[in-house]
Amino acid sequence: MTLLTDKKYEPLTEHSAIDLAIKLGIFAENSTLTCSEIGDGNLNLVFRITDTTSGQGIIIKQALPYAKVVGESWPLTLKRAKIEADALKIFGKLAPDYVPVVHFTDDQLAITVMDDLSHLTIARKGFIRGDQYPLLSKHLGEYLAKTLFYTSDFGMNQSKKKELLGQFINPELCKITEDLIFTDPYTDSPTNSYESELQATVDKIRNDQELIFQVALLKMSFLTEAEVLLHGDLHTGSVFASSTETKVIDSEFAFYGPAGFDIGQVFANLLFQALANVEKKSEILTHVETFWNEFVLHFSELWKTNNQEPHAAIPGLYESVLNKYFNDSLGFAGCELIRRTIGLAHVADLDSIEDNEQRINAKKQTLSLGSLLIKSRKEIKSFTDFLTLLTKSL
């Protein structure tokens, strides 16, 4: 449902968020509501509103007209709120077990009202404190198999897919990705941030012409290959989880791009935990393997049973498509490993390592693995080869 309003845009407060919840009629009359702003991301306000009697809750997410992580000097379009809501609705239809329900949207106020997931934990935070999520990788594999297949030229009417592509033109958010992942870490950009002890490693990366060339190829793929509707920012901070449940949130970066991008984001953001804590190596490698195997299992079945492409049964086409997704994902994973270490937006997995020497060594290892994946992605012929490389590198 879309809430129509003549109210001009202004950022919500905890008080006005409660007023909005009452206006929407979500809670029973005479409910006692509490509200807290819980957003810890870089771009938005996030309010949790709870009925103190029933315990029922909702989330109201509102886009700000600038990047919260930087401030008003970095303006952003409010259209991203509509893109996020539209993507959540589509992904929710394709993989309903793994996406929160969207209850209301308002394009003018740039808000999305959705399920309260407070009974779950952000996966990155849980991993850091030692929580285990035995089904997380399995769920993410199925989620991506369904969302990527059903939004591709293989899984939907190809004319409809072109219409959907136009709906998700997302230039401002894509520009953030293009700069922060594929450009800034390889230049002396003022947005970069890293410890002085990493300078020699950073200089080596910036002087590695083969690496820069391969990154440029990956950027061209990101810019030009409209294969599937991507989540666009699928890291462990965009996933709520428990031992039995997984929900993917924060799809405001959604756009049509190369399928390997989302897959590579999952690979990289799982690997951060193994890089930060060697004792988790075996656990994380199991997650990586389960994620890929589950993706292949569901994707291959959908390819056989729901394909819209007349050439789908031609011998070798499926293998060619899957191999491209896999090789692309390794390169994109490498870019994610590098940018989260020396770029603007870091990950707590690495930054929360208290011992300075241990943290620096973990980050050097991350940069080394990222470079290796980018440059050798086409030489890694199978997932077994990938696991072997990870086993030697972690």
| Model pLDDT, residue 290 | 98
The answer, yes or no, to whether residue 4 has pLDDT greater than 60, is no
The answer, yes or no, to whether residue 151 has pLDDT greater than 70, is yes
Q: For the residues 33-45, what does the mean pLDDT come to? A: 86
> Tell me: domain 121-393, CATH 3.90.1200.10, correct?
yes
Question: Which tokens hold the place of 393?
Answer: 């590198």
| Model pLDDT, residue 76 | 87
| Model pLDDT, residue 69 | 62
Going by C-alpha positions, the residue among 298, 238, 289, 297 that lies closest to residue 262 is 238
Question: Which tokens hold the place of 355?
Answer: 């011992």
The string of pLDDT tens digits covering residues 220-233 is 999 999 999 999 99
The answer, yes or no, to whether residue 6 has pLDDT greater than 70, is no
Q: Can you give the residue ranges of every domain in the chain? A: 14-115, 121-393
| Model pLDDT, residue 30 | 84
Range with the lowest mean pLDDT among 3-17, 111-125, 300-314? Answer: 3-17
The answer, yes or no, to whether residue 68 has pLDDT greater than 70, is no
The string of pLDDT tens digits covering residues 241-274 is 999 999 999 999 999 999 999 999 999 999 999 9
The answer, yes or no, to whether residue 29 has pLDDT greater than 90, is no
The answer, yes or no, to whether residue 239 has pLDDT greater than 80, is yes
| Model pLDDT, residue 43 | 78
Do you know the residue count of the chain?
Answer: 394
Residue type, 120: L
The answer, yes or no, to whether residue 71 has pLDDT greater than 70, is no
**Alpha-carbon distance 117 to 59, whole Å?**
8
Q: b/e map of 335-373 (b: 16 or more CB within 10 Å)? A: bbbbbbbbbbbbbbbbeebeeeeebbebbbbbbbbbbbb
The string of pLDDT tens digits covering residues 348-371 is 999 999 999 999 999 999 999 999
The string of pLDDT tens digits covering residues 197-213 is 999 999 999 999 999 99
| Model pLDDT, residue 379 | 97
pLDDT band at 39 (very low <50, low <70, confident <90, very high): confident
The string of pLDDT tens digits covering residues 176-201 is 999 999 999 999 999 999 999 999 99
The string of pLDDT tens digits covering residues 327-351 is 999 999 999 999 999 999 999 999 9
Q: Looking at domain 14-115, which of 3.40.50.720, 3.30.200.20, 3.40.640.10, 3.40.605.10 is its CATH number?
A: 3.30.200.20
Residues paired with residue 246 on neighbouring β-strands, in sequence order: 241
Range with the lowest mean pLDDT among 2-6, 266-270, 376-380? Answer: 2-6
**Alpha-carbon distance 228 to 257, whole Å?**
6
The answer, yes or no, to whether residue 52 has pLDDT greater than 90, is yes
| Model pLDDT, residue 66 | 84
pLDDT band at 40 (very low <50, low <70, confident <90, very high): confident
Give the alpha-carbon dihedral of 15, 17, 19, 21, to 10 degrees: -150
What is the maximum alpha-carbon separation in the chain?
Answer: 65
| Model pLDDT, residue 318 | 98
Please state, rounded to an integer, the average pLDDT across all residues of the chain. Answer: 95
Integer angstrom CA distances of residue 143 from 57, 94, 104, 203, 319: 25, 8, 23, 38, 20
Q: What is the 3-state secondary structure (H, E, C) of the chain?
A: CECCCCCCCCCCCHHHHHHHHHHHCCCCCCCCEEEEECCCCCCEEEEEEEECCCCCEEEEEEECCEECCCEEEEECCCHHHHHHHHHHHHHHHHCHHHCCCEEEEECCCCEEEEECCCCCEEHHHHHHHCCCCCCHHHHHHHHHHHHHHHCCCCCCCHHHHHHHHHHCCCHHHHHHHHHHHHCHHHCCCCCCCCCHHHHHHHHHHHCCHHHHHHHHHHHHHHHHCCCEEECCCCCHHHEEECCCCEEECCCCCCEEECCHHHHHHHHHHHHHHHHHCHHHHHHHHHHHHHHHHHHHHHHHHHHHHHCCCCCCCCCCHHHHHHHHHHHHHHHHHHHHHHHHHHCCCCCHHHHCCCCHHHHHHHHHHHHHHHHHHHHHHHHCCCHHHHHHHHHHHC
pLDDT band at 42 (very low <50, low <70, confident <90, very high): low
CATH topology identical between 14-115 and 121-393: no
| pTM of the shown model | 0.95
